[in-house]
Every structure is written in structure tokens, then in C-alpha cells.
Amino acid sequence: MGLTLFHDYTSPASAVAVARLQRLADDGLDVTFEGFEAIGVDAVLPPSLDVLAAIDDLAEAAQAEGVVLRRPPALPPTAAAHAVGVLAESRGLGASWRQTCYRAFWADGADISETLVLIALAQEAGLQRTVVQEALNDRAFVATTRRAMGRHRRNGVGGVPTILTQRTLIPGLLPEAELRALAAY
């Protein structure tokens, strides 16, 4: 049955969880990644105290996973970035996209709500510029991604990272040994 990780690019805990679970996926375990806009507001917000505290709290875990967590200049809406993630998954480039997008946001402070930034990052991840540009210009494509996130919210996903396993939602930032045990179950 495997694991499904709900994650959001502006969540420091998601950055660590995605890196950890990607290693399991690379080892052949059944892991699915689902983008989930945790804040759900279509506005750029200043970094919250929760995010700033999480950066400090996760410093050691992030370093162990090779994840850079710098204080972001802002918390942008992430629906468009998740839409690019859907496109990347459909072309076998989901892992490349996640790695590129998380690095750009957390290490470089990129505004991942800006279309031109997303297009450049998507190209870096291996996607074709015109395909990404057309997808982001298609309001229905981004709206479909938002509707999927709304369904996840109605099904009990309230924050990130969250893992779905055996039809049960659990916190998503678990030690690797526990993740492997869940994925193998």
C-alpha cells in the first residue's frame, strides 16, 4: 500500500520530510508525494513565528538530510508550484522538481509564486519551458490542482508534512527507520 506524503514547499518540516522520503523512494519503497498548500491563502505573507521556530528546531535534522533552511523573505502561495509538480510527476521528473523547488525556496529565497521563476526552475528540473508556460497560463490546470488539495483537506489533511498509510493520517516527520517500517507494512 505504501506511503503518501502531503507536503508544502514553504514548510521547513516538509523540506526535511521530502528529502528523507525521497531516499526511501530511491531505494524502491512505495512512496507517493502529494503537494498540499498548507496556508491556502492566495497572498504573500511574512514568515510566521511557527516557521521561524521550526527552522531553528529542525536545523540538525535538515543538515543530516542535506537540506539548507534559511529564513525566507516571505511565504508565497504555492498552488502554482504544486501545479508544476503535478506536471513534473506526469513526465517522470517529480523528484527533480521537488529537489529544485525546495532548494530554490529554502536556500536561495526564490519567490515560487512567480510564473517566470517557476518556469526557470522547471527548466532546471528538466521540463520544457513552453509546456510549463502553457500549463501555468491555463487557469483550469492550476484550479484542478487546488481542487485536489481541497479534497485532501476534506479527507482530513490539515497540515504538512502528513503521511497517509493504511488509510490512517499520521505526522509526516518521522525517523527514517519508522518510515521504512511503515512503507514495508
What is the pTM assigned to this prediction?
A: 0.92
| pLDDT computed for residue 1 by the predictor | 65
What the block records as the C-alpha cell of 112 is 515560487
Would you call the peptide bond into 161 cis, given omega within 30 degrees of 0 as the criterion?
yes
| pLDDT computed for residue 69 by the predictor | 98
**Whole-number Å distance between alpha carbons of 176 and 16:** 11
Domain annotation for the chain: domains and CATH numbers: 12-180 (3.40.30.10)
Could you list the mean pLDDT of each consecutive 10-residue stretch along the chain, which spans 185 residues?
A: 93 97 95 92 92 97 97 96 97 98 98 97 98 95 92 90 86 86 82
Cα dihedral angle (183, 153, 54, 108), rounded to 10 degrees? 90
| pLDDT computed for residue 172 by the predictor | 79
Dihedral pair phi/psi, residue 133, rounded to 5°: -60, -45
**Whole-number Å distance between alpha carbons of 93 and 181:** 26
What the block records as the C-alpha cell of 134 is 502553457
Helix 79-90 vs helix 139-154: angle between axes, to the nearest 10 degrees?
100
* Type of residue numbered 173: L
* Cα dihedral sign, 145-94-53-153: positive
**Whole-number Å distance between alpha carbons of 120 and 71:** 22
| pLDDT computed for residue 16 by the predictor | 98
| Residues 145 and 86: beta-carbon distance below 8 Å | yes
What the block records as the C-alpha cell of 81 is 508550484
Strand locations in the chain (E): 3-7, 31-35, 162-165, 168-171
| pLDDT computed for residue 170 by the predictor | 79
